[in-house]
Amino acid sequence: MSESNPARTITGEDEVVDLCRDLIRIDTSNYGDHSGPGERAAAEYVAEKLAEVGLEPQIFESHKGRASTVARIEGEDPSRPALLIHGHTDVVPANAEDWTHHPFGGEIADGCVWGRGAVDMKDMDAMTLAVVRDRLRSGRKPPRDVVLAFLADEEAGGVYGAKHLVREHPELFEGVTEAIGEVGGFSFTVNENLRLYLVETAQKGMHWMRLTVEGTAGHGSMTNDDNAVTELCEAVGRLGRHKFPIRVTKTVRSFLDELSDALGTPLDPEDMDATLAELGGIAKLIGATLRNTAAPTMLGAGYKVNVIPGQATAHVDGRFLPGLEEEFLADLDRILGPRVKREDVHADKALETSFDGALVDAMQSALRAEDPIARAVPYCLSGGTDAKSFDDLGIRCFGFAPLRLPPELDFAGMFHGVDERVPVDGLKFGVRVLDRFLDQC
Ligand SMILES: [Zn+2]
C-alpha cells in the first residue's frame, strides 16, 4: 500500500470532540421509566467504537432498550488488580425551548460543545473512548487490565444499569479494585499560580422518603382537631426550615485545609458564609457537603375543598454525610414527631475513601504534567453516582473525569441545567490527562 493508513494518524485529541457530539445527538433521556429512546443506540455506538480497535465489547440489556456496554482491555501485567473506568450514557431530559442551542444537536459554539450530557457525562464517555482508541491503535497497553463500563440508567438510580450488572454479572468486574468515574477532576482556578482539581473521594448517602399522616376524615364545615393536612404541614414546615448541624467529615476537612493553605487564609467551617464566599462558583458543590439536608419536594392530600381527607403525604429528599446516617434518622424522627410515619422510597449509602495511594499519585502527576499550576484535592459530592453500586463489590471509587475549565464557567450549574456545555479545550485537556494517567495506573 502506498497510502499511509489514516487510522494510525488520528489521535484521541482529534476524535474526542466528534465522539462527544455523536453521543449528544443520541437522545438518551431517562424519564425514570422505560420510555427513554436512546440507551440501546448509545450502547451500540460505544460497542462499535471499541470493536473498531480490536476489543470485544459485550452489550447487556436489563430490560428492553436498557442497554450497557462493557469491555476489558488486557494490560501489560494481567496479574495485577484491574482498574474500572465507568460512565453513564443516559441523561436527564431537556426542554429544547429553554436552550440557546438544541440540547440534542451537539453544536459547537463559543468554543464549547453544547447539549444535554456535555458535562454529565458524555464528555467523559467521549474522552474515555478517544483515549482507549488512540492507545489501542498505537499498541500502547495500559500497565494493568482496564475494564470499561458504559452504563444505562444512572440518572434514575442505576437499577437498569450499574446495579443490574453488579448483581447479575459480577464476573465482569473480577479482579477490579479501583475505579474512576464522574463528578470529579474538574478545575477551580484560585489565582494565576494555582488551579485546584477536585477529585471526588466521598459521596453523601440518600433517603428519599414518603411521610404520611393519618387523621380523621370528615366534612370541611365541621370542627376537626385531627386534620391530617394540618398535622403534616406543620411537620413538613419544621423539617424544611431545620438547619442540620455542621459536621466536618474527613474529606471536607482535608478539602478545607488544602484550600486554606492555597488561599493563605484559615477557613472556618463554623463560619461558612465567609468560607463559601471564597469558593465562588463551587460554593454550591461544597456548601451541601457540610451538613445533612432534608428538602421537602412533593405534597399530596385531599380531593375536594369541603372534605377533610383522612390522610396526607409528603416526599422529602434527604441526604446524609458519610458516617452520619444514624444521627440523620434520629434527627428526622425528632423533628417530625410521633404523628408522622416515615418510609424510604429509595435509599443508598454514603461513600468515603482516603486521598492517598498510587492511583491518587497518578492523578496528581498526570494533571501537573498538563497544567503546571494544578493541585489535586479531595472533595465530597453532595449527590450520588454509580460508584455506590461498584462499592458493593469492594471497589474503591474516585470521581476523576479531568477537565480544565475557564474560571467564568458555572460548572456546577451545568449539571442537569439549561445550556449545558463543555469547552472543546477542556475535552482535549481531559484526553491528554487520562492518557498520562493510564500510563501510570
Ligand atoms: Zn452523571
Q: Give the pLDDT confidence of 30-51 residue by residue, as tens digits.
A: 999 999 999 999 999 999 999 9
Distance 417 CA to ligand 1 centre (A): 12
Rounded mean pLDDT for each run of 10 residues along the chain, 441 residues in total:
55 96 98 93 98 98 97 96 98 96 98 97 98 96 97 95 98 98 93 92 97 96 94 98 93 87 78 74 79 96 97 98 97 97 95 96 98 95 95 98 92 90 98 98 95
Ligand 1 centroid, distance to 120 Cα (angstroms)? 4
pLDDT at 3: 45
Calpha distance 140→130 (Å, rounded): 13
Cα of 412 to ligand 1 centre, how many Å? 12
C-alpha–C-alpha distance, residues 369 and 432, integer Å: 9
The CA 119 to ligand 1 mean position distance, Å, reads 8
Task: State the pLDDT at residue 8.
Answer: 56
| Residue 268 CA to ligand 1 centre (angstroms) | 31
R_g (Cα) of the chain, nearest Å: 23
Q: What is the 133 CA–ligand 1 centroid distance (Å)?
A: 23
Q: Which residues contact 365 (CB under 8 A, 6 or more apart)?
A: 436, 440
Residue linked to cell 403525604? 313
Distance 204 CA to ligand 1 centre (A): 15
Q: What separation in Å is there between the alpha carbon of 298 and the centre of ligand 1?
A: 23
Distance 200 CA to ligand 1 centre (A): 13
Question: Which residues hold their Cβ within 5 A of ligand 1, which is an ion?
Answer: 120-121, 182
Q: What is the pTM of this model?
A: 0.91
**DSSP class of 262:** H
- Which pLDDT does position 256 carry in this prediction? 86
* Measured distance CA(243)–CA(16) in Å, rounded: 44
Specify the amino acid at residue 241. Answer: R
The pLDDT assigned to 4 comes to: 47
pLDDT of residue 377: 94
Query: How far apart are the CA of 121 and the centre of ligand 1, in A?
Result: 5
CA of 116 to the centre of ligand 1 (A): 11
Dig out the grid coordinates for 257 from the structure.
Answer: 485545609
Predicted local distance difference test score (pLDDT) of residue 1:
43
* Integer Cα distance of 133 and 361 in angstroms: 24
Q: How far is the CA of 154 from the centre of ligand 1 (A)?
A: 7
Q: Say how many Å lie between the CA of residue 406 and the centre of ligand 1.
A: 21
How many Å lie between the centroid of ligand 1 and the Cα of residue 242?
29
Distance 380 CA to ligand 1 centre (A): 15
CA of residue 191 to ligand 1 center, whole Å? 28
Give 94 Cα–ligand 1 centroid separation in angstroms. Answer: 14
Distance 149 CA to ligand 1 centre (A): 14
From the CA of 346, how far away is ligand 1's center (Å)? Answer: 18
CA of 132 to the centre of ligand 1 (A): 21
| 3-state SS, residue 180 | strand
Say what the pLDDT of residue 167 is: 97
Which residue in 181, 158, 168, 103 sits closest to 401, CA to CA? 181
- Residue pair 99/406 in contact (Cβ under 8 Å)? The answer is no
Using the mean position of ligand 1's atoms as its centre, give its distance from the Cα of residue 396 in Å.
18
